[in-house]
Amino acid sequence: MNQQCSWQQVDRPCEGQAICFPVRSVIQLPDGRRIDLEEQGFLTCFQGELRAWRNHCPHAGSPLDWIPGQFYSDDGERLVCHTHGAQFHPLTGACLSGPCTRGLFPLEVQEQEGVVLVPVSVGAINTS
């Protein structure tokens, strides 16, 4: 799934914060058609660890943040989809509660000498 073709530099979020960035993806439909999408990813910092995710809830596909850029629960311990309340582990992306049947879609992230890089695009995502 994560077959990125190039990288973009983003700011490093502060602890317990997230920043959003654009990411292109291709959805592979069961009938073989492919749809190019302009989506959003988000980069989090939790316990000093960076993680990047598609801003696409695995339950019904909505962005997780109703308030732009706000992804964390009130106590800062989980990532939350504000559509139906699914909660995810901030380091693994695993679904901890709510209607989702799988975890968040991870994206690659690199940090080299203080420069943070995330992918410009992800490979085909199979919906079947």
- What tokens appear for 3 in the block? 């077959």
- Residue from 29, 60, 94, 124 that binds ligand FES (CB under 6 A)? 60
Q: Which stretch binds ligand FES (CB under 6 A): 3-11, 39-47, 52-60, 108-116?
A: 52-60
**Cβ-based nearer residue to ligand FES, 86 or 122:** 86
Say whether 121 sits in a helix, a strand or coil: strand
- Residue from 57, 107, 109, 118 that binds ligand FES (CB under 6 A)? 57
10 binds ligand FES (CB under 6 A): no
98 binds ligand FES (CB under 6 A): yes
On whether the CB atoms of residues 26 and 124 are closer than 8 A, the answer is yes
Angle value at C-alpha 16, between 12 and 18, nearest 5 degrees: 50
H-helix segments, 1-128: none
56 binds ligand FES (CB under 6 A): no
Say which amino acid occupies 22.
P
8-state DSSP, 75: T
**Cβ-based nearer residue to ligand FES, 57 or 118:** 57
- Residue from 62, 72, 117, 120 that binds ligand FES (CB under 6 A)? 62
Say whether 28 sits in a helix, a strand or coil: strand
Please state, in angstroms and rounded to a whole number, the distance separating the CA atoms of residues 47 and 25: 29
104 binds ligand FES (CB under 6 A): no
* Residue ranges that bind ligand FES, judged by CB under 6 A: 57, 59-60, 62, 81, 83-84, 86, 98-100
